[in-house]
Structure 1
Amino acid sequence: MDMATDIPPGNKDNKSLERDAIVWLTRVTDEDVTAEDRAALRHWLAQSPDHAEAFAKANTLWRAMPSAIETMVRSGSVSLPAPAEMHRGVIGRRTLIGGLATATAAAACYAMFRPPLDLWPSLSELAADYRTATGEQRQITVADGISVQMNTQTSIALRPAATSADRFELLSGEAIIGAASIKPVQVIAADGLTSADAAKFNIRCSTAKIVVTCLSGSVHVEHRDHAATLREKQQVAYGGGMMSNVDLVDLATVTSWQDGYLVFRNEPLADVIAEVNRYRPGRIVLLDAELGRGLVTARFRLDRLDDVVVQVRDVFGARIRTLAAGIVLVG
């Protein structure tokens, strides 16, 4: 495999760089790694400080596992350039080895706030009033007449009540909120506000967008200069100053997690894997963008999510590599 052509050196976002860094680590742990591969890696690292940071974070993750990458790093076969040397475009072996410890320590600190590949909760999530672990669901009552069913990897922080409504913030994850007519509820998610009175709704908070689905009653959603009122079976998404049109959805699909299932209908494989990762310990890492565009229609049991990897291998013919700590590389 020619890594120099598999991973172009152009500008990429942080998530793409993290995936690329995993690809490099995978390659250099193969038995057939060559001197050309290592030279190509050094070239990739020299593209920008972001490339080096992505590699440092990936390296920190892998160093925590009983992985062959530990031996590679200690022997000097793979190492990280110091940021100053990268700016000058000068990469020597001694500089590579010396820069590794500093960059890795910085990446570890940064990872406390933005975990690589979302493998563990961020500091803000850990500081929440209520939080569920991977695979956990929990029922709570945040105020009189307001019940919340928290899905996996969900963090909620209580906020001071408004004059006429109880309020809390969904920091991450997904929840079904039931509001009786005793007092309205307001849910903050990112820079949006969802309000309801005598209604039931599902709200999901991800890095890219917030999705609100009305299960019964009426729900009002506000995001900056946008607003929408939802009725039963209606859904809207917002984020980045934009709000989608109101769509009709299948409520059984939206709430299937309550019954112990994940249901997908013509969803890109990349989105399927991202969803499965919320429920499964470790991480499934998709390395092939083209593979991720393949469509999936399936129904998976939450207590048998390893079936997903098997089906991806059998249906798409994808290469699967299983590492320690539940890490699975696909593609």
Structure 2
Amino acid sequence: MPDDALSDEAALWFARMRGPDAETERPAFEAWLTERAAHREAYNWIAEVFSLGRLVEIEPDPLPTVQPLPSRLLQAALVAALVLLMGVGGWAVLMHRPDSAVSMASQPVMSGRGLIITKVGQIRAVRLADGSRITLDTDSAVSFTYRRDIRRLELVRGRARFDVAHEGRPFVVAAGRGTVTAHGTVFDVGLAPGGAVTVRLLRGSVDVALPVSGIVRSSASATTRRLTPGQQVAFSTSILPPAQAVVTPDDRWPEGVLDCDGMALADLVARANRYTRTQIVLADPDLGRLKVSGAFRIDAPQLLADRVATVFGLHADAEGDARIVLERGSPTE
């Protein structure tokens, strides 16, 4: 993703080239486009965002009472107008800035269609118009379509927690090949890059359905499992296994906290590395077999590395912003 200034510039060119003065602007646009490779990359990124319906990046900070609209909100208005002209109306998209600590819970997403996105290192909560709340884990995306007869969502990637408001319309979440139908409940759904889906129930009840063949988005002609609190089910093929008790709860991930009870250090590091560009590296693979217990913040790599180093008598050496190496000290140390 390009930086904010460059993405703003590319978005404005994208708008101009779809406006009434496109031909007049074309020489200047082509000169800008060929000036730097970064310009082409930023323009292509904006075009991809539009093609996927990912329309705008909304600042979560509340608007001041007396102040001109910031450039990003002006861009949002311009983009919204373009979307209507392009016939893609009805989409509402939230892409959150990594440096913002303000929750989106106070900004409800209106009825219709939309796509909610988080970047690497972000955990964000969004309240929908019906009162349901969705919390997205790092690098995740959830689309939603609210109609009069159904609330239909899809986990596109990553992981999300759904806190479902009671009402008459069904609340159905599609993930991978299956669907999850909620009954006024709280549950987690995770979608791995290979297509494996894990559903964990925290409160209430859900029906997890998987079609015997083909990809469907309803429970018709599908194997169904009803979960009770404390159960989970994982699937990736046309076979839906029985529900099982959750052995290693991961209930506090929306807080950026991982509770470990004898977890291998390699697994802890792998989970933490999903939340940051700064990767923790084990200098010796044997270190990965060390067992870790306790509560750890997995969204703060330096803090995590320092704590692990203290517990096991290791060194945590930062190599710029790219990585932190955990290694054993010398024999004398």
Shorter-chain TM-score range = 0.5 to 0.7
Q: Distance in 1 between matches of 2:310 and 2:303?
A: 10
What amino acid is aligned across from residue 166 of structure 1 in structure 2? R
Q: Distance in 1 between matches of 2:289 and 2:237?
A: 24
Q: Distance in 1 between matches of 2:315 and 2:241?
A: 36
Q: 1:282 aligns to what?
A: 278
Q: 1:171 aligns to what?
A: 156
What amino acid is aligned across from residue 124 of structure 2 in structure 1? R
Q: Distance in 2 between matches of 1:307 and 1:200?
A: 30
Instruction: Specify whether residues 320 and 239 from structure 1 end up closer, same or farther in structure 2 by C-alpha distance, changes over 3 A only.
Output: farther
Q: Which runs of 5+ in 1 are unaligned?
A: 1-104, 114-122
Q: Which runs of 5+ in 2 are unaligned?
A: 1-36, 46-50, 56-92, 94-114, 213-222, 328-333
Q: Is 1:298 equivalent to 2:294 in the alignment?
A: yes
**The one of 203, 206, 210 aligned to 1:219:** 206
What amino acid is aligned across from residue 175 of structure 1 in structure 2? A
Per-residue deviation, 1:246 = 1.9
TM-score, length-scaled by structure 1: 0.53
Instruction: Specify whether residues 319 and 259 from structure 1 end up closer, same or farther in structure 2 by C-alpha distance, changes over 3 A only.
Output: closer
Local SS of the residue matching 2:274: helix
- Alignment identity in percent? 27
Local SS of the residue matching 2:201: strand
Instruction: Specify whether residues 126 and 153 from structure 1 end up closer, same or farther in structure 2 by C-alpha distance, changes over 3 A only.
Output: farther
Retained in 2: the 8 A contact 1:211–1:238? Answer: yes
Q: Distance in 1 between matches of 2:52 and 2:250?
A: 26
Q: 1:263 aligns to what?
A: 259
Per-residue deviation, 1:124 = 7.4
Per-residue deviation, 1:219 = 0.6
| TM alignment of 1:32-71, pairs within 5 A | none
TM-score, length-scaled by structure 2: 0.53
Quote the RMSD (CA, aligned, Å): 3.7
What amino acid is aligned across from residue 195 of structure 1 in structure 2? T
Larger relative strand fraction:
2
Q: 2:116 aligns to what?
A: 130
What count of residue pairs does the alignment treat as equivalent?
212
Local SS of the residue matching 1:254: coil
What amino acid is aligned across from residue 159 of structure 2 in structure 1? E
Local SS of the residue matching 1:229: strand
Q: Distance in 2 between matches of 1:287 and 1:189?
A: 36
Retained in 2: the 8 A contact 1:125–1:172? Answer: no
Q: 1:80 aligns to what?
A: none
Q: 2:319 aligns to what?
A: 323
Instruction: Specify whether residues 287 and 186 from structure 1 end up closer, same or farther in structure 2 by C-alpha distance, changes over 3 A only.
Output: farther
What amino acid is aligned across from residue 171 of structure 1 in structure 2? V
Local SS of the residue matching 1:222: strand
Q: Distance in 2 between matches of 1:211 and 1:125?
A: 27
Q: 1:155 aligns to what?
A: 141
Q: 2:231 aligns to what?
A: 234
Q: 1:193 aligns to what?
A: 179
Per-residue deviation, 1:284 = 2.4
Retained in 2: the 8 A contact 1:139–1:149? Answer: yes
Q: Distance in 2 between matches of 1:125 and 1:278?
A: 25
Per-residue deviation, 1:237 = 1.6
What amino acid is aligned across from residue 177 of structure 1 in structure 2? F
Q: Distance in 1 between matches of 2:302 and 2:295?
A: 13
Instruction: Specify whether residues 220 and 276 from structure 1 end up closer, same or farther in structure 2 by C-alpha distance, changes over 3 A only.
Output: same
Local SS of the residue matching 2:273: helix
What amino acid is aligned across from residue 150 of structure 2 in structure 1? A
Q: Distance in 2 between matches of 1:188 and 1:292?
A: 35
Of stretches 263-272 and 142-151 in structure 1, the one that deviates more from structure 2 is: 142-151
Per-residue deviation, 1:233 = 1.4
What amino acid is aligned across from residue 291 of structure 1 in structure 2? L
Q: Which structure's relative contact order is higher, taking Cα pairs within 8 Å and 6+ residues apart?
A: 1
Q: 1:46 aligns to what?
A: none
Q: Distance in 2 between matches of 1:229 and 1:133?
A: 32
What amino acid is aligned across from residue 211 of structure 1 in structure 2? T
Retained in 2: the 8 A contact 1:238–1:244? Answer: yes
Q: Is 1:184 equivalent to 2:180 in the alignment?
A: no
Local SS of the residue matching 2:155: strand
- 1:56-77 deviation per Cα after TM superposition (whole angstroms, max 9, x unaligned): xxxxxxxxxxxxxxxxxxxxxx
